[in-house]
Amino acid sequence: MHRPTERRRSGAPRRIAALAARLMAEDGLSDCALAKRKAARQLGLPENTGLPDDSEVEDELRAYQRLFQDDEQRARTLELLRTAVRLMRLVERFNPYLTGPVLSGLAGRHAEIDLQLFVDSAKDVEVFLLNERVAFRHSRPRSERAEAVLTMLSGDVTVNLVVYPQIEERSSFKTRDGRVRERARLDTVLRLLAEHTAIVD
């Protein structure tokens, strides 16, 4: 039988996960690690409190969205998928993959679109966007493997083109907690779009 202190300790990660999920859903935090640290502080927990895995926060986020943001989240996901398809077609020559919350189904009101591109040089993408008169800015890469991150706006949606060397296309990418990061080519995204369109309509 667990002692009371052990019960409190084992319950803390669940409380952190639940609050972190709410912060991500309501306040637009996209960084799971940041959301967990902020949740722990708001709960008044010691700095050495064990934090939940990202997957636990994602489970709580899905549950929160189903309970409180279901219609909104479905509509937003549909909008983001449509935007992703349009942009993937635009940059199709650069081998685009969709990844992140739009692909995982966790896209909420503040979600951004993350597209991975695999090319010989990031300059090729920059020149292409300039020729297409697409405004963009450089953002800080989240991974040392990325050559560049080109961020643009499509309506009210932020889109990040994360550019990797061509050789990295066959490599797997992992999340901070060691899971393989899912990614999808255009044909898969088109199927997801068709499924979401049928649900919303």
- What pLDDT digit, counting tens, does each position of 18-53 carry? 999 999 998 878 889 999 999 999 999 998 899 999
Check residue 142 and give its pLDDT: 81
Check residue 172 and give its pLDDT: 86
Mean pLDDT over the full length of the chain: 89
Q: What share of the chain is helix, strand, coil (3-state, %, to 5)?
A: 55, 15, 30
CATH of 71-200, one of 2.60.200.20, 3.40.50.620, 1.20.272.10, 3.30.460.10: 3.30.460.10
Q: How many residues in the chain? A: 201
Q: Is 74 exposed, middle or buried (0-12, 13-18, 19+ CB in 10 A)?
A: middle
Check residue 201 and give its pLDDT: 59
Q: Distance (Å, rounded) from C-alpha 39 to C-alpha 8?
A: 16
Q: How far, CA to CA in Å, does 71 sit from each of 63, 121, 135?
A: 13, 41, 32
Kind and range of the H or E element at 117? strand 113-119
Written as six digits, the tokens of 112 are: 């951004």
**151-188 burial, b if ≥16 CB within 10 A, otherwise e?**
bbeeeebbbbbbbbeeebeeeebeeeeeeebebbebee
Q: How far, CA to CA in Å, does 89 sit from each of 80, 82, 96, 141?
A: 14, 11, 9, 23
Residue 3 has pLDDT above 50, yes or no: no
pLDDT confidence bin for 176, thresholds 50/70/90: confident
Give the percent of the chain with pLDDT over 70: 94
Mean pLDDT value across residues 100-114: 89
Nearest to 137 by CA among 116, 170, 121, 161: 161
Residue 116 has pLDDT above 50, yes or no: yes
Entry pTM:
0.84
